[in-house]
Structure 1
Amino acid sequence: MEIHHLAQNNSVLKHFLAELRNVNIQQDRMRFRKNMERVGELLAYEMSKSFHYKEINVETPLGSKQTHEIDEELVICGIFRAGLALHQGFLNYFDNADNAFISAYRKHHKNSDAFEIEVEYLACPALENKTLILVDPMLATGRSFEAAYKAIEQTGSPKNIHIAAVVATPEGIEHLEETLRPDTKIWIADIDERLDEKDYIVPGLGDAGDLLYGSKLQH
């Protein structure tokens, strides 16, 4: 399994990540959403380098130019609700992609930190022989990505699988290495230290869904 850790090299990505993590800048919800979208665009750009391309001929006002275009059928799947802004970043770059949406969330047991991953909704095109890009800001335990992919498998077997997240833990990456196809490629903006006792990322950036769209009632 290929792991791509983008923050290992200096780029504007680190600037956007710093603002996403900053507790003062986080209070500007619109800026948080925009930075999440921007990170999605940068992840998409780096991911695009791994795609297969075909030669095409383009007519310009003054002649013709032989160039290349992506030769893969892409499906971008965002995990509700935190994945929506990141999904939009990918869609900004892969504007001809098909789209899928899935609801996968932590359902906590009563009076306990223990939880199961609940999948309640899926809208997805046929995936057979296509390239699936599964996006969610936080790769904590990895169980949400695992549950989402298992639910999506019913629509067909993709030719290629890409996982994209903004912040991940070593534990979450290890879980995906154990549970997903070995040819899966994982694209991470940054890898943090660890999970805490409640399975949240440390130092992380907080609850991405709440920071993007407002707090929610717990069920």
Structure 2
Amino acid sequence: MVAFIMSSFIFENSILENKLAFMIIHNLGEENSVLNQFILEIRDSQIQKDAMRFRRNIERIGEILCYEFSKELTYSPQNVETPLGNKAMSLSHDQVVICSILRAGLPLHQGLLNYLDAAENGFISAFRKHEGDDDDFEVIVDYFAAPSLEGKVLVLTDPMLATGRTLENVLLALKKSHGTPSAIHIISVIGSQQGISFIENIFPENTHLWIAAVDPELNSRGYIIPGIGDAGDLAYGQKL
């Protein structure tokens, strides 16, 4: 079992706070597209009561983000024989590993799998632990199962990029024994500006972040405002 425990989101104390940021951020919410409809529906407090529709919307957002992310893969020419002749096409031969954070990441993971037929898969358990009713919390990573990442394209999916501490701990866990990926892409649905600024100083140079919407702030308990609420509860029901 791997357990990385981090204190609450005290960004100013990060030992990496002075590291120059090289993350490449793709905020699809800045463009007008059908994506906006799906974001509206997962935010709407009435529509999101339909758990099946909520999961499907997260999945569809994952498909759109995956399509955009796929443009950054490496491609090479390949010929295909049709009934009437031959056609040269450019296809990607990158080995992709999708690692999703349980449980909220599952619908987003499926959205990527709908497009990346040959991708390998990893799953990581990460959760916040509040002591009583305090605002402070610890982020605990206590389980992950993933193939080797050596030389592969790592895609980390986490629908809500709030404080950024979960992604930091996941990166630490994967680094310990799973090899060095050739590239890292983070796929998120909604993030806070604070969380994005934090992970810019944590992830390697040229990491890509693909995100559907960026919100301005966090509340005292580290939840994105206006956000959507708890994505895991909305997708799969409340937990103890």
| Of 75, 78, 92, the match for 1:56 | 78
Partner residue, 2:239: 216
* Cα drift, residue 110 of structure 1: 3.3
Give 1:140-219 correspondences, 5 Å limit: 140-153=162-175, 154-217=177-240
Q: How far did 1:46 drift?
A: 0.6
Name the structure 1 match of 2:137: 115
Corresponding letter in the other structure for 1:75: V
Counterpart check, 1:39 vs 2:33: no
Counterpart residue number, 1:17:
39
Q: How well do the aligned residues superpose, as a CA RMSD in angstroms?
A: 0.8
Distance 1:58 1:152 in 2: 38
More RCO (CA 8 Å, sep 6+)? 2
Aligned to 1:4: 26
Amino acid at match of 2:76: K
Please state whether the residue corresponding to 1:206 is helix, strand or coil.
coil
Identity %: 52
Does structure 1 residue 96 correspond to structure 2 residue 118?
yes
- Partners of 2:223 and 2:151 in 1: CA distance: 35
Deviations 1:24-45 (A, max 9, x none): 1011111000000000000000
Q: Secondary structure at the match of 2:201?
A: helix
SS at 1:209 equivalent: helix
Which residue matches 1:137? 159
**How does the TM-score come out when normalised to structure 2?**
0.89
1:166 maps to a residue whose letter is V
Corresponding residue pairs, total: 217
- 1:147 alignment partner AA: N
